[in-house]
């Protein structure tokens, strides 16, 4: 397995890629062909370039499992009843009998261009914050259209680099025009690392009012008192695949790398 550069001893972690066929905007998305390979395979191969000890696809689809078998990617067949990718990853942690302190990185199955270094960094961030149950990533944004776009999730941090709140609203809101230019806005990127014991606890947590209001699953953890460490990256990674147009863009880029 290839390694990405790191300045300290990398923590042990595994990557789990939840993948299901039921996508409304792009049907059968994980199996969409990108340069002769299904998208989920492209994602797994990028993850294998990280420092992860293992990479596992978690799916409820025998078709996805067959594609993984064909390309020699480890795959676990999980329940079709899971409401979220986190629930699916929790089942994987249980199936693999992971110890409570094991680190699990959730890489979305529609991120075929994800930088392996970003996977390493989210795992390192959680290892560096033993008081936190989760870690994730954010990047600075300055475009006002992004700041006010409800499809762009923003996060506000405390002085220790932990999340105070995630929102689709432009937070922090600058009431005084004079300090508007001094405020840093952070865009949340949807990659997470979890401790295995949190994953088991998560499946028993009640949905939270802020989570339901914002439609942001990570607010459930904050609501119930879990802490989330946030790494601020300097560069925005390539966008994932949500639409047919995204798929064509990625197909063009894959041919150049």
Give pLDDT tens digits for 120-174: 999 999 999 999 999 999 999 989 999 999 999 999 999 999 999 999 999 999 8
51 neighbors 120 (Cβ within 8 angstroms):
yes
Q: Evaluate whether residue 1 is within a structural domain.
A: no
Query: Lowest mean pLDDT: which of 53-57, 107-111, 175-179, 224-228?
Result: 175-179
Query: Could you tell me the two tokens for 126?
Result: 């959680």
90 neighbors 81 (Cβ within 8 angstroms):
no
Tally of domains in the chain? 1
* Mean pLDDT for the stretch of residues 38-51: 96
- The CATH number of the domain holding residue 79 is 3.90.550.10
- pLDDT at residue 7 tops 70: no
* Mean pLDDT for the stretch of residues 225-248: 91
36 neighbors 59 (Cβ within 8 angstroms):
no
Q: Evaluate whether residue 253 is within a structural domain.
A: no
Confidence label for 24 from pLDDT (cuts 50, 70 and 90): low
- Structural domain including 167 reads 14-237
* Mean pLDDT for the stretch of residues 240-254: 88
Q: Evaluate whether residue 255 is within a structural domain.
A: no
Rg (CA), the chain: 18
- pLDDT at residue 1 tops 50: no
Query: Could you tell me the two tokens for 150?
Result: 């409800």
DSSP bridge pairs for 193: 105, 135
CA–CA distance, 87 with 94 (Å, rounded to integer): 11
Confidence label for 8 from pLDDT (cuts 50, 70 and 90): low
- pLDDT at residue 3 tops 70: no
């Amino acid at each position: 397995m290839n390694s990405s550069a790191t300045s300290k001893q990398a923590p042990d972690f595994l990557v789990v890629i939840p993948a299901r066929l039921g996508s409304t905007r792009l049907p059968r998305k994980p199996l969409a062909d990108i340069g002769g390979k299904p998208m989920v395979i492209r994602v797994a191969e990028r993850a294998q370039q990280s420092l992860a000890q293992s990479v596992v696809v978690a799916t409820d689809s025998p078709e996805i499992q067959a594609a993984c078998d064909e390309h020699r990617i480890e795959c676990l067949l999980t329940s079709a009843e899971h409401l979220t990718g986190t629930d699916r990853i929790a089942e994987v942690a249980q199936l693999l009998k992971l110890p409570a302190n094991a680190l699990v990185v959730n890489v979305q199955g529609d991120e075929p261009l994800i930088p392996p270094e970003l996977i390493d960094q989210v795992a390192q961030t959680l290892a560096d914050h033993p008081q936190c149950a989760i870690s994730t990533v954010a990047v600075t944004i300055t475009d006002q259209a992004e700041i006010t776009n409800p499809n762009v999730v923003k996060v506000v941090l405390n002085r220790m680099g932990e999340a105070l709140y995630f929102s689709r609203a432009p937070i922090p809101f600058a009431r005084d025009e004079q300090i508007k230019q001094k405020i840093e806005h952070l865009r949340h990127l949807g990659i997470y690392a979890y401790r295995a014991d949190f994953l088991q606890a998560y499946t028993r947590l009640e949905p939270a009012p802020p989570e339901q209001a914002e439609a942001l699953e990570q607010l459930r953890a904050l609501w119930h008192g879990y802490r989330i460490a946030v790494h601020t990256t300097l560069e925005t990674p390539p966008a994932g695949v949500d639409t047919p147009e995204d798929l064509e863009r990625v197909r063009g880029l894959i041919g150049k790398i």
